Chains A and B, each alone.
Chain A
Amino acid sequence: MDNKKSNQEIDRRDFFKKAAMSVTAIAGTSLISSNARADDPAIMHHVPWGQVWGDPVTKNRYGVPSKYEHNVLRRNTKLLASGNFRASIAVTPIQESMGIITPNGLFFSRSHGGVAHVDPAEFRLMIHGLVEKPIVLTLEQLKRYPSVTRTHFIECPANGGQEWRGPQFNSVQFAKGFMSCAEWTGVYLKTILEDLGLKPEAQWMLAEGSDNSEMGRTIPIDKVLDDAMIVWGQNGEALRPEQGYPVRILLPGWEGNLCVKWLKRLEFAAEPWYCKEETSKYTALKPTGKAIQHFYANEVNSTVTSPSPEIDWSTLKDGDLIEIEGLAWSGMGTITNVDLSLDGGKSYVETKLKGLVLPKSWTRWSYMHTYTKGDTLLLTSRAMDDAGYIQPTIDQEVGVMGVESVYHRNAVETWEVNAKGEVNHVQIRS
C-alpha cells in the first residue's frame, strides 16, 4: 500500500512537472515553479491556536488590534517636530487604510502644546460676544442638543507641503498621511445659535481651545451657519484625546487647524482676531510677496494608496491582475471623477469610484491593471469635485503659488513603479 501510494505520488509529481513545463512553453515564462506544489505546512499541520483555549471574553474589556498588526502605527519625523514632540504631528499609515474610515487609534495627531487630558466634569463651553444671550454649557448640557452624524475627513493643510520644491518622502504615509477620515457626531453650531440670537454685525467667530497653547482660530459666519459642528463623537465612541476630547469644532472640508480641539470658548465679533496660527502659520506665501490668509478649504486631491512605496509590487508575478486603488477627497465638495495615468500624466483613463461617495469625505477609487514584470510605470491620479475643480499639474500650481507656500498643495502626485516592481515617489515637472 505504502509503496503504491508513494508511486502514485511520484506519478502525480511527474504530471505536474510536465504540466508546468507545457505551460511554461506556452506562456514563455514560469508560472508554476516546482516549489509551488510543495505542501503548505500551514495547511498540513494543526496550528498552535487551534488546539488550545483562546482568551476568555473577559479579557480586553476594551479591544485592541491583533498583536501581529504592531507595525500599523502613526509615525512622526523630527523634521516636523518642535522640540519635545509637543508642537508636532504624527501621521496616519494610509498605505494600510481600508475603506473610508480611519480607526480612532490611527487618526493623525497634531497639537501645538501637547495632547491635553480634559476632565469632562470640569469641561465648560462659553459662547458669547455679539449674541443676544451668552451661555455656558456643561458637557451634559451640550450633548442634549439634537445630534447629527457625518463622515468627513480632517486634513492638515500642510499635507504634502514639504514637497513644493521636489519629492522628499519615499512614503505615502508621510507624503499624504497628514489626514484621516471618521464619522463624527455632534450638534450643528447653527442649532445652538437659534436660541442665542446672533447680532447682525457679527461676521466672525473665535474658537479657542483649553490646551496649554490655548489654540485659537477665527472662523467666518458663513461656515458657522452652514455645516459647522461641535462634535463629541468619533466613529461611534467619544473623541480621542488626540482629537480634542471631550469636544472639538468640526468645519467639514476646511483646514484641520481650524477644527479647534479641547474646545473652551466661542466668541462672536465684527472684526477678526489675527490668532497666532492664522498669521504666523497657515498662510500661503505667493511669488508676489502676498500671502493668502484665511485659506479655508482643502482643495480637491487624490493619491494612489496601492501600490505605495511602503507596499509595492515586487512580489507580483508577470500577468497578475491587480487592483490599483486610492483615495480622493475634496474640502470643497463631493468627488465626481478620478482619472489615472500610467505614464505620469501624458494620458489618463477613468477609474471607478467605490463604496459611499460623500461630501467632504475620503472617497475610494479603483482601476484593474494587468501587471507585466519588468515594465516601468508612472502612476498619477487626478480627482475632480462637484464644485468643478480639478487637481492641477505641479507646473500649473507652482505657476501661481510658487514653491514657498508650505500649505494647500494639491497638485497631482506620481509613484514610479520600476522594473523590479518597487515603488518610488517622483514628481513630473518642468
Chain B
Amino acid sequence: MFKLDRKLLTTASAAAALAIITAGCMGGSGSTSTGTTIKDGKATIDGGTTYPVMNNKTGPYYVNAEAISMKINNGRVPTANELAAWDKDVMPDGTGLPEGSGSVEDGEEIYEAQCVSCHGDFGSGGGGYPSLSKGNAVDLQKTLTNNRWKDPEADGPTRVFGSYWPKLSTLWWYIKDGMPHPKSKTLTNDETYALTAYILNINEFEIDGVEVDDEYVLDREKFLKVKMPNEAGFEPNIDGPNALNDVRTFYANPTNFGAIKVKVSERCMTNCQNDTVSVRRIANGGIKDFLPPIDSTRSLPKEEKVAINPVEIYENNCAVCHSGFLSPASAEWAGYTAKGMDKVYASAIHGTEGGMPAKGGTTLSDADFKTVVDYLVTGKTK
C-alpha cells in the first residue's frame, strides 16, 4: 500500500532525533511543545511545527492512537452519475473543461443583462465587486512591481483577471460555479464560453497571435491555447511531481516570506530600534464607518423597532443595483407602475429574468417587502 512512506513518524526514537534539529529554537517560559519542523525527514510544508502522535499524545492532547489509525468502512461508493454530477472542476490542463463555444458578441449581451450591475461597464468594477479589466493585460502585468512603500501617492499594482491571474481555467470554472452571484450555476457551457470570450476581449487578449476582437468565437481548443501574461508570476512552484518538495524548500527559508527566526536567548531586549523610525498616526481620521458603531457601554438598548426600516433594507440589499437604475423615486418607475403595482410587487417578490433576485435576496415576508418596493417607487416611507 501507499501509506507507509506517508505516515507520520510515530516512533519515539526517530522523533527524538529530529527534535535535536530544532532544539536551539525552543525553550522559554510556558512551552509545552514536543514539536518539530521536520516530518518524515523533510521540512514541514508550511515551515511550522508539527506534533507527531507519540505515546497516545499529540502535543499536549491525549489521543486514542489506535482509533485514529483504524480502517473504518463508513459510507458507500458513489455511482458514476453521482461522481459526474459533482466532479465539475476545471483544471489548467483542460481536465473537466467541456466542449462548447461562445462569441464575444454573445458574451457582451449576457454581461450587460446579468453582470454589469455588479461588475460595472466593461468590467470596470463597482458596488464593491471586483473589476474584471483595467485595460491591456500585458501592459498592466508590468505594474505588478509597483510598490507604494516610499511614495504612498504613487500608482500601485493593478491586480485584475488579465494582469494577475495565472490560469484561464480559474475564470471559466468560477463563472460556471459561482456566477451570477445572486443565482449561481444557471449559465450554460456556451454562455460561460461567451462570457470568458468577452472578458478576454475587454482585457485585450490575443490567442495564438489572433486578437480577441468583437467578432471572436471562443471554443475549447482555442481556450487551451491562451497564455496568461502573469502565469510565471507566482512562487513557490506548485506544478509537477516535485511540487511538494519545492513548497517545503520555499517555506524552509524564512526570508522568502518576510519571517524571522531567532533563538529565544538571542532575541533583542534593549536598543532594538534604529533612529530612522518615527510614530506614524492614523491619517485623515482613518476608517470609521463601523456597523454598528463602536460602543462598549452596558446601558440598556433602546426599544426594538417592530416595523422594518425600508431605507435600511434598501441600503443593504438593493442599492448596489438600484442606485443606478430604478433608484428610489426615479422617473423610470413610471414605465413599470403604469402596468399596475401588483405587477411591480410580483416581479419584486418573485424576481425577474433581468437579474432582480427574489425579494432582493432578503428573507422578508411579502407584506414587509412590499413596503420596501413602495419606498423604491415613491422615495417615501409610510
Q: Is the interface of B mostly helix, strand, loop or mixed?
A: loop
* Stretch of B24-32, B334-342, B366-374 with 4 or more beta carbons under 8 angstroms from chain A: B24-32
5 A–B pairs (Cβ distance < 8 Å), ordered by A: A273-B91, A334-B49, A348-B268, A359-B60, A403-B149
**B99 an interface residue at 8 Å Cβ cutoff?**
no
Q: Is there contact, CB below 8 Å, between B68 and A188?
A: yes
Partner of B83, one of A128, A174, A195: A128
Binary contact readout B52-66 vs A (1 if CB under 8 angstroms, 0 otherwise): 000000111101100
In the bound assembly, the distance between CA atoms of A205 and B116 in angstroms comes to: 34
Are the CB atoms of B264 and A337 closer together than 8 Å? yes
A241 CB-CB contact with B under 8 Å: no
Specify which of A144, A194, A225, A284 is in contact with B71 (CB 8 Å cutoff): A194
Q: How many residues of B contact A (CB 8 A)?
A: 142
Distance in Å: Cβ of B162 to nearest Cβ of chain A = 11
Which residues of A sit under 8 angstroms from B76, Cβ to Cβ?
Answer: 135-136
Q: Could you tell me if B166 and A279 are in contact, using CB atoms closer than 8 angstroms?
A: yes
B29/A352 in contact, CB under 8 A: yes
The residues in A between 70 and 108 inclusive whose CB is less than 8 angstroms from any CB of B are 70-71, 73, 75-79, 81-87, 95-96
| A401 and B258 within 8 A (CB) | yes
A109 CB, nearest partner CB in chain B, Å: 13
B32:A334 contact, CB within 8 angstroms: yes
Contact A170–B282 (Cβ < 8 Å): yes
- CB proximity of A70 to chain B, nearest CB, Å: 5
The answer, among B39, B145, B244, B289, for a CB contact under 8 Å with A287, is B145
Interface: A293 (CB within 8 A): yes
List residues of chain B with CB within 8 A of the CB of A334. 31-33, 35, 49, 59
Most buried by A among B35, B64, B257, B300: B257
Any chain A CB within 8 A of the CB of B187?
Answer: no
What's the least CB distance linking A348 to chain B, in Å?
A: 5
B6 contacts A198, C-beta separation under 8 Å: yes
| In the complex, B280 has a CB within 8 A of chain A | yes
A150 x B61 contact (CB < 8 A): yes
| Chain A nearest CB, measured from B198 CB (Å) | 18
Taking A75-B291, A387-B25, A388-B26 as contacts, is the C-beta distance between A291 and B87 under 8 angstroms?
A: no
Beyond the given A126-B78, A289-B233, A297-B48, please list 19 additional residue pairs across the A-B interface where CB-CB is below 8 A: A78-B128, A83-B181, A128-B83, A136-B82, A167-B281, A167-B286, A191-B69, A195-B73, A203-B243, A276-B170, A279-B234, A283-B234, A287-B149, A310-B296, A347-B270, A395-B277, A408-B258, A416-B281, A426-B281
- How many chain A residues touch B (CB < 8 A): the figure is 162
Q: Is B296 in contact with A71, judged by CB distance below 8 angstroms?
A: yes
Measured in the bound complex, the distance between the Cα atoms of B149 and A330 in whole Å is 26
Partner pick for B238 among A272, A353, A392, CB 8 A cutoff? A272
Please name all residues of chain B whose beta carbon is closer than 8 Å to the beta carbon of A390 when the two chains form the complex: 260-262, 267
Q: A10 at interface (Cβ–Cβ under 8 A)?
A: no
Tell me if B98 counts as interface (CB < 8 A to partner A): no
Question: In the complex, which residues of chain B have a beta carbon less than 8 angstroms from the beta carbon of A96?
Answer: 296
Cross-chain contact A227 with B48 (CB below 8 angstroms)? no
Asked if A427 lies at the interface with its beta carbon under 8 angstroms from chain B, I say: yes
